[in-house]
Amino acid sequence: MSLFSLLLYAFVSSFTPGPNNIMAMLFANKYGFKKTFRFCLGVGVGFFVILILSAYFNLLLHSVIPKIEFLMKLIGAAYMLYLAIKIVTSKNNGNDTDGGNNNSFYVGVVLQFINPKAILYGITAMSTFVLPYNSSHFSLLFYSLLLAAISILSTSSWSMFGSIFKEFISKYKSQFNVVMALLLVYSAITILIG
């Protein structure tokens, strides 16, 4: 196995816009980087669980996924469209009306189980780059931890961007929300047609 190929795939897949990264940036813009980091950790933990499940149940998932892939795509796309609508219609005038409940470790974990990009990424990474070359428990744990760490790095980077440009984003909040919502809509469309 080429570790370089795995890392290249992991970084490209993890750092491109998707629900995790977009939500991390929005949360950091609203709550700051420190408070958003718990969401990033939740994403990493949820993603780690997805990777472990993908590794150990790869054969089962391979036979089941074609049957449930369309349903997963519909649910994931619907959730992304819901998030896009919530972003565009948000009227944040400095008040934290949800008390930061959407920006939690738990939300980060649960998001992974309805995020088709994360599930398909986990299945692809494990079945293509790991399982053909390594099947020991240690190897599966190591690669799952490595890929989960990359996901934390990715969402943290997007969070940092949202936090650093907080003043700029606040100044152009409605335009920024429209762009972020359109990115989510684009993500939803690519999942449905991909």
pLDDT tens readout for residues 105-150:
998 999 899 888 888 888 878 877 887 788 788 989 999 999 999 9
Angle between the N-to-C axes of helices 19-31 and 33-56, in degrees from 0 to 180, rounded to the nearest 10: 160
The predicted pLDDT at position 156 comes to: 95
pLDDT at 48: 96
Contact partners, residue 141, CB within 8 Å, separation at least 6: 52
pLDDT, residue 69, reads: 64
Q: What is the mean pLDDT of the chain?
A: 81
Low-confidence residues of the chain, pLDDT below 70? 1, 59-69, 72-73, 76, 91-103, 191, 194
Residue 36 CA to residue 27 CA, distance in Å, equals 6
Alpha-carbon separation of residue 160 from 19, 156, 170 (angstroms): 16, 6, 15
At residue 57's C-alpha, the angle toward residues 66 and 3, to 5°, is 95
User: Which residues have a Cβ under 8 Å from the Cβ of 190 and sit 6 or more positions away?
Assistant: none
The rounded distance, in Å, linking the Cα atoms of 77 and 72 is 8
pLDDT given at position 116: 80
What is the H or E stretch that residue 73 is in? helix 58-89
Give per-residue pLDDT as tens, 79-89: 778 877 877 88
